[in-house]
Amino acid sequence: MKNPKRLLIIGLLLTWMSVVFMVGDSEAAPTVYYGDVVTAEGKTIQVKGKDGRVSLFWLGHRTRFDTRAPLSGDRVKIEYVKDKLRRNAVTRVTILSK
């Protein structure tokens, strides 16, 4: 071993990387959002909340629909998580009323 400092730095770097990747891979708890559907196009829906803000949600193959797919004007409860691309990925959609 000609340079023990180099070996120590590489060991610390590898340890730090493994800890960061383990913490970053934890599972997220779903967040709930209530609102009225503005538009439903393809794999996305736009929902207007009580505060007037329109949010975009992404539907995927893991999305569960309790009754049917939401249409414009439906009042919905959406459970979602942030995916790896930082999008609002929907896990469950419940239609509350028309």
Is the CB of residue 35 less than 8 Å from the CB of residue 52?
A: no
pLDDT at 36: 95
- CATH fold of the domain at 31-97: OB fold (Dihydrolipoamide Acetyltransferase, E2P) (2.40.50)
Q: Give 48's strand partners.
A: 36, 54
Q: Domain residues of the chain, as ranges?
A: 31-97
Separation CA 20–CA 30 (nearest Å)? 22
pTM of the model: 0.68
Decide: helix, strand or coil at residue 82.
strand
pLDDT tens readout for residues 44-90: 999 999 999 999 999 988 888 888 888 899 999 999 998 888 889 99
pLDDT at 7: 87
Strands 64-65 and 54-58: unpaired
User: Would you say the C-alpha torsion 39, 40, 43, 46 has a positive or negative sign?
Assistant: positive
Decide: helix, strand or coil at residue 48.
strand
